[in-house]
């Protein structure tokens, strides 16, 4: 199942932030609690952690992009080991990523 990645509200006084960087590449798997992106609000750095495990499938913003609170900035497939993915799509992404890693090591 696909889920949306939204920016967090980090400050009560300012509703926009500067998106700094993605900490996960497209197609990469991440675990619950991993930092998936970094943003700045009023010169303070915020590292945003994943709510659950998954695989990043879409990025809608890039570095230095100005984002609003709760804006959709990407999507991910929920990990198959999570209660949110009864079909097991996440395991397919894990297998594909392992194959990609193996191919990259051989190059």
Sorted by where each begins, the domain ranges of the chain are 2-106
What pLDDT score was predicted for residue 50?
Answer: 92
What pLDDT score was predicted for residue 97?
Answer: 75
What pLDDT score was predicted for residue 12?
Answer: 87
What pLDDT score was predicted for residue 63?
Answer: 93
- pLDDT less than 70: residues of the chain: 79-91, 93, 106-107
Q: Which CATH architecture has domain 2-106?
A: Beta Barrel (2.40)
Q: Are 77 and 88 in contact (CB under 8 A)?
A: no
Closest by CA position to 16, among listed 58, 64, 56, 50: 64
What pLDDT score was predicted for residue 86?
Answer: 47
Predicted structure pTM score? 0.70
What pLDDT score was predicted for residue 60?
Answer: 96
């Amino acid at each position: 199942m696909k889920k949306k990645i939204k920016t967090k509200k980090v400050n009560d006084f300012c509703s926009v932030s500067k998106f700094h960087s993605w900490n996960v590449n497209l197609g990469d798997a991440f675990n619950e609690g991993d930092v998936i992106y970094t943003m700045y609000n009023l010169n303070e750095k915020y590292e945003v952690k994943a709510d659950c495990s998954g695989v990043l499938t879409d990025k809608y913003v890039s570095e230095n992009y100005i984002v609003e609170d709760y804006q959709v900035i990407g999507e991910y497939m929920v990990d198959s080991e999570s209660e949110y993915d009864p079909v097991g799509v996440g395991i397919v992404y894990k297998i594909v990523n392992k194959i990609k890693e193996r191919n990259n090591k051989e190059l």
